[in-house]
Structure 1
């Protein structure tokens, strides 16, 4: 074997990578090892791991498929790199939530459901039949009433109809039946009723026909009715178009209309289990497959252990291993019947990890995006065990991470920096975690820095009480939340933290505002500038400087590129697959047409300004301007590396949350009126960025604000004035207040898992 062939078997080699902010990066990533990419937010970690290595591997694999298949797969442009060598089949395990498919559950997404079906087909009494008979996604196993969805949607006729109006006046209150629409014309010209008589004055039999008829031949339709002369009523039309299938795209009017007229309830036939009667009556030790699926994973594991039949021993072992894996990544509180679309990004990623653990493939490169997100320190070591199992199965593991425990457990570390955005993109270090900890890099400093307790806690200015909280797994919780201090609410994943603080606190005390990591509206057309409320002032400034109307400087107005319509990319709709995006060659991704790009403000085009970071944009518009004051909040919340015009689709959940926080702080009045709840604000933050966020929290609290943070980060917990620890476990084992007090006192509490980890920080 030549030297080159030997190296290809040992390394993934990258030379001269320039993707996004990477500056001629050259690295060698060892195969069959766990490599962690570190660095401050925006330093280029994801650009190297995901947008260079993973994207090129996927592009090359896609190129091996026939053209028919290739054209229906996501397309990746070649990364800006001189050379990549040694790539293997690569799969990305990111934090994208599962799609909105109502038929996907934790059981199906983790590949445990097929194992349960096989087990019940072998041992269930009386048997319902082969495995499809236990599947709610198969006609032989699904409940016929709800078709395997567990819920039934009905149209509320009282909401749908305005019986004081005639058909011509718009008696059917739904957008597709509004006056002038195609379906409105069918009703008016059907000849079934007088279209000018209010529905309330028509014979009830006629109204019933108008509403419920299906395939009815018409005796005397109007001349404007279609020639086939067959009539379908309002209700069948709505059911066929919106309820029996989910349209790929709904207009805002249709969404609002459906919300107003459709009621959803648990299926009365299957009681929400989704299954046909035969499957529900087939039992193992007195429990059906529906009973098993409804249990928390931790309880189900104990039930599976009680089943002892040598004929299915390998199957039982496989089920136990999958359940153990779910529990080991902190998901023991989930049930297999929970819809996968309700999972958070971190939960979804951990379910994907469990699915890959059972794969028969080897020599695969797995690329993970901050898998520790949302995990209590108690669960991080279990995550590391799973990653080690994947690696030891002759796979290559690449992880983009900030968590010190994950970095320390790596075989190899690549640290990028020194800062974010234009100041990042350089390799600061390559080697072992121990050597990294001895360097002067930001990551090395954080690895060495101890977690220090706050020495002097602030005195509260009063309290508010959450009374008798019972939502989800909360057990009649009553707890005081201090005002005018920094409070951290901790506990293992699924313990009830968010239910208590993000749910009950603002419900009982509406003056508290929750800033969470929910997706921002606007999608590809929205930017930090639009969210922060500075896009319009920027357009106005360009208008005054150039004499053009401000809409010329809007990618959604006159200034839009005519080819991509102001999106910067060309989107190809592949119907049942993900949309494919390619950069717009006409505008070079700037979103604007030549006339808009030709206009200048102090020598800068509108595209130049939107490509600036907050500090540069603030300097352009003057440090004392209202624009600059709002932009400074981006820097103070740790987003100074972003460009103000980049698409929100490119931001992580943590970045979106901090952007919302920046907007809220920019809009807010005096700090003593602020009462904020932040749900895991350190998600996606490097340790040095966490310190900056804590500095901002201190400034706000010192000015009179009340901050309540839901967090796992030990640096944040130790920095708090007051800690409320929820637990002791997750799901049914959580939901109670384990501890209230200072961080140092929490570290001495043996009943708290959080306290134990603070002691060993």
Structure 2
């Protein structure tokens, strides 16, 4: 009988204190506790790591070399462990070819569906293509009137340049007597050679047979059609003598003619898909033809990316408030001296020609000059002096944009390409318009009785008279998950098509349904994976796992509720329960109150964070946890502790009377935003709320952040569609504080990021012993030669390659993990050397350096955000997303306030316990009280209720969202009809 529990004895990974615990199998188990209390160390670094390691060890040595190597966690014994799958809160890679549809395998099934039952069309005319069997072609030819003269032709060359001597010679060798070249039938055996001009377009058709429609001709005609199809690549052309015309040979025509004479009618047939009117044909469709990763389907211009690098005029003008005389045209400030002299003369010539003031700010110059500068003067010549003798020449000016694009396309120098890339941005491909595929593939459609008029309007397709909607594969992926599920459920298939594609349709439907269940119905299927938040990417992986139908697996999830509105949480909990009911053990690291209450078993770690954590404070069912007296989690769940509503909120200025004090976005219409005008009160703590997919990130990140970054830093990213930004002159900088790592290597740590390590090194360099030896601050850096241990190059550890076994990191035998050489470590301050200082916690270091303001101010800011337990030299790679974000917050808090900074935060409560959120709010209020503005995208109601101002978007996600439901203090939103946020906020404000 399988074990009923997972038994862990003596877990010491990271800060776990010899922890022993029994976790029930096939249950939904939530591990909670303060940030840094050891939740991830238990769930991911112990349970998952050991489950994965055991599975990998069971494989052969040959198979193991292709898999990631895993270290054994620091634990004495684990029993009852299943194969483990981790679904972490990390964003997918930035591969532009990876989309939601490809990640979930929906696109793979769509390719099969479209290749099997899709209806091809002529991309030029839109006419549906048909294909026929050889028998059907023969039947149609025999339907001509009796005694009709016909010529059966096999198309060999169609509108191609060349002499084609080898083609003509091959036809002669294979027994063909005649060929139709440029509309004239020519004897191949004639004595004079057939000469074609190499530079002209030519059409060559082999004459297979000439016959008259009458009884008894079927067998001969069928044989001729088969031969023509074989030589013509599944195509056959028939010249038919029109009834009533004077009898003559079909070759009696001018050799330059491109069409048959009027008395002969041309008819095309094909066993491939084809349009008889235009002659367009399409070969056999396969799933590869619908892949933008295959040369068979990918757009030849953008190679399936859907975007191209193009020169952006705005990136060439660094600071529009400067004048041309001050060098505002960035490309003309670079390059060798000779080129700069040329650019200066060219600039002077343009200024003289357009009679402009080169001392005036560029932003105020006339539009005709800007247009000429960017895109050229056309045929109008510009006169300029050239050479040392001052000779005048006059020629049209090419323009910055065409010139840079030409140089980028023609140069073979990677240095030049990199230089030009700084002036380029990605835009939709001009050939496929972002659809990634070839025109003939985009002309293949499937039909549905889908009644989503708004979606059809959005993607540019129209409903037919019978209310049926035809979409190509790209248009299908432009639908949201919810719309796609409706479309595929009402797909219009014939009985034969349904028999072919029913299994494929069922697979697509089930995957779309799983995405709906995890609250992702608002996302479009063509959304790039790299643009998803960590929570969205995690829920997509969760949906994929449900679709796999595995049982007996240990699933470990990291805060799946992140990014979900309270309204959508119920569906997520249903998904987790479904995963459990399949016979899996589901372990969730979570702080969301609703998820904790829904768990079968709760493990609360603490009592504090870092060295003060790593112990089990309480465990059991919800009732047992609520009664625990030493559990901070229990205090908040039971109501004994709560985050207080602010006694007063900072009121914004009344916008109708005083436009000052507001930052306003006018006409935001990117993605699903409905041309909204939004005002942000400056000097306030603002929360942007709304259900998932309502347009929060589009408004704040795609439009507001990018517009501010372009204004202040000339950033390359283009803002989303909007008409204007007012009030930007009232702030002096914009800063984003997110949960991305503060460093990519173990050498990066909290003390270096915060800037406190520099004054510490300077302090050590000022000590008498250091000055006697001539040590400067660089001596105390572990990244610079001189003071560091050269054996480990300042790392403290040495990596040993173990080939088939995991790489082992061993302590450096020279410095014993201290990073520095012996001479450097002889310099001490208050009895501690530089390595001892790096080993201090923030709490200990704040006391140690309390008399050194340049250090203590930065450390106290880290204490304020609840990071007292971190060690100064702790590797940045070991910090959670929440910890990394709070390090950034502390760094900002320690800076001298200007009172005009605009901060943008996206879900800062990710990874934070109730008590951590209380600390976070205190820090945010400090930044606000210094006169700064904070805009926070947030779903956590405890943060939302403490904001000065809310901007609530909705009412739904996707196309049914994108409107401002309400704006004002939380109390006003709580009473706003139609606001889901207000509905859940109301009980908390009572």
> Which of 563, 579, 599 is the equivalent residue of 1:374?
563
Q: Which deviates more, 417-426 or 265-274? A: 265-274
Secondary structure, aligned partner of 2:945: helix
Tell whether the 8 Å contact from 1:526 to 1:647 is kept in structure 2 after alignment. yes
> Which of 681, 692, 695 is the equivalent residue of 1:496?
695
Higher relative contact order (CA 8 A, sep 6+): 1
Q: Does 1:541 align with 2:763?
A: yes
Tell whether the 8 Å contact from 2:9 to 2:76 is kept in structure 1 after alignment. yes
Structure 1 residues 411 and 569: alpha-carbon distance in aligned structure 2, compared to 1, 3 A threshold = farther
Tell whether the 8 Å contact from 2:759 to 2:854 is kept in structure 1 after alignment. no
Structure 1 residues 234 and 516: alpha-carbon distance in aligned structure 2, compared to 1, 3 A threshold = closer
> Which of 638, 655, 661 is the equivalent residue of 1:448?
638
> Which of 736, 741, 744 is the equivalent residue of 1:515?
736
Q: Using the alignment, how far apart are the partners of 1:97 and 1:238 within structure 2?
A: 35
Q: Which deviates more, 631-640 or 281-290? A: 631-640
* Aligned counterpart, 1:725: 952
Tell whether the 8 Å contact from 2:636 to 2:642 is kept in structure 1 after alignment. no
> Which of 36, 43, 68 is the equivalent residue of 2:30?
36
Q: Which deviates more, 267-276 or 500-509? A: 500-509
Structure 1 residues 107 and 537: alpha-carbon distance in aligned structure 2, compared to 1, 3 A threshold = same
Deviation (angstroms), 1:596: 4.2
> Which of 974, 979, 990 is the equivalent residue of 1:747?
974
Structure 1 residues 54 and 122: alpha-carbon distance in aligned structure 2, compared to 1, 3 A threshold = same
Structure 1 residues 330 and 469: alpha-carbon distance in aligned structure 2, compared to 1, 3 A threshold = farther
Q: Using the alignment, how far apart are the partners of 2:563 and 2:839 within structure 1?
A: 32
Structure 1 residues 384 and 340: alpha-carbon distance in aligned structure 2, compared to 1, 3 A threshold = same
Deviation (angstroms), 1:403: 0.7
* Aligned counterpart, 2:879: 651
Q: Using the alignment, how far apart are the partners of 2:958 and 2:811 within structure 1?
A: 51
Matches for 1:188-227 after TM superposition, within 5 Å: none
Q: Does 1:147 align with 2:311?
A: no
Tell whether the 8 Å contact from 1:152 to 1:266 is kept in structure 2 after alignment. yes
Q: Does 1:359 align with 2:543?
A: no
Q: Does 1:279 align with 2:500?
A: no
Secondary structure, aligned partner of 2:766: helix
Larger radius of gyration: 2
> Which of 898, 905, 925 is the equivalent residue of 1:678?
905
Please report the RMSD computed on the Cα atoms of aligned residues, expressed in angstroms: 3.5
Tell whether the 8 Å contact from 1:668 to 1:674 is kept in structure 2 after alignment. no
Tell whether the 8 Å contact from 2:742 to 2:753 is kept in structure 1 after alignment. no
Deviation (angstroms), 1:685: 0.7
Matches for 1:189-268 after TM superposition, within 5 Å: 257=419, 259-260=421-422, 264-268=426-430
Tell whether the 8 Å contact from 2:53 to 2:70 is kept in structure 1 after alignment. yes
Q: Using the alignment, how far apart are the partners of 1:352 and 1:265 within structure 2?
A: 29
Q: Which deviates more, 637-646 or 516-525? A: 516-525
Tell whether the 8 Å contact from 2:739 to 2:885 is kept in structure 1 after alignment. yes
* Aligned counterpart, 1:526: 748
Q: CA offsets per residue over residues 725-749 of structure 1, 9 Å max, x none?
A: 1111223222221012332332333
Deviation (angstroms), 1:454: 3.2
Tell whether the 8 Å contact from 2:605 to 2:618 is kept in structure 1 after alignment. yes
Q: Does 1:585 align with 2:811?
A: yes
Tell whether the 8 Å contact from 1:723 to 1:742 is kept in structure 2 after alignment. yes
TM-score, length-scaled by structure 2: 0.63
* Aligned counterpart, 1:192: none
Tell whether the 8 Å contact from 2:739 to 2:908 is kept in structure 1 after alignment. no
Secondary structure, aligned partner of 2:599: coil
Q: Using the alignment, how far apart are the partners of 2:491 and 2:473 within structure 1?
A: 13
Q: Which deviates more, 483-492 or 298-307? A: 483-492
Secondary structure, aligned partner of 2:436: coil
Structure 1 residues 105 and 234: alpha-carbon distance in aligned structure 2, compared to 1, 3 A threshold = closer
Deviation (angstroms), 1:428: 0.7
User: Any gaps of 5 or more consecutive residues in structure 1?
Assistant: 172-196, 202-232, 242-252, 575-579
Deviation (angstroms), 1:47: 0.7
Deviation (angstroms), 1:257: 3.6
> Which of 556, 578, 585 is the equivalent residue of 2:783?
556
* Aligned counterpart, 1:247: none
Deviation (angstroms), 1:675: 4.5
Q: Does 1:430 align with 2:586?
A: no
Tell whether the 8 Å contact from 1:528 to 1:646 is kept in structure 2 after alignment. yes
Deviation (angstroms), 1:523: 2.0
Tell whether the 8 Å contact from 2:556 to 2:586 is kept in structure 1 after alignment. yes
Q: Does 1:133 align with 2:289?
A: yes
Q: Using the alignment, how far apart are the partners of 2:332 and 2:666 within structure 1?
A: 41
Deviation (angstroms), 1:93: 1.0
TM-score, length-scaled by structure 1: 0.81
> Which of 794, 811, 822 is the equivalent residue of 1:566?
794
Q: Using the alignment, how far apart are the partners of 2:800 and 2:411 within structure 1?
A: 29
Structure 1 residues 599 and 359: alpha-carbon distance in aligned structure 2, compared to 1, 3 A threshold = farther
Structure 1 residues 85 and 591: alpha-carbon distance in aligned structure 2, compared to 1, 3 A threshold = farther
Q: Using the alignment, how far apart are the partners of 2:6 and 2:59 within structure 1?
A: 23
User: Any gaps of 5 or more consecutive residues in structure 2?
Assistant: 121-272, 274-283, 317-329, 343-386, 392-406, 448-469, 654-660, 709-724
Deviation (angstroms), 1:288: 0.6
> Which of 839, 843, 859 is the equivalent residue of 1:631?
859
* Aligned counterpart, 1:269: 431
Q: Does 1:439 align with 2:637?
A: no
Structure 1 residues 561 and 50: alpha-carbon distance in aligned structure 2, compared to 1, 3 A threshold = farther
* Aligned counterpart, 2:941: 714
Q: CA offsets per residue over residues 203-235 of structure 1, 9 Å max, x none?
A: xxxxxxxxxxxxxxxxxxxxxxxxxxxxxx996
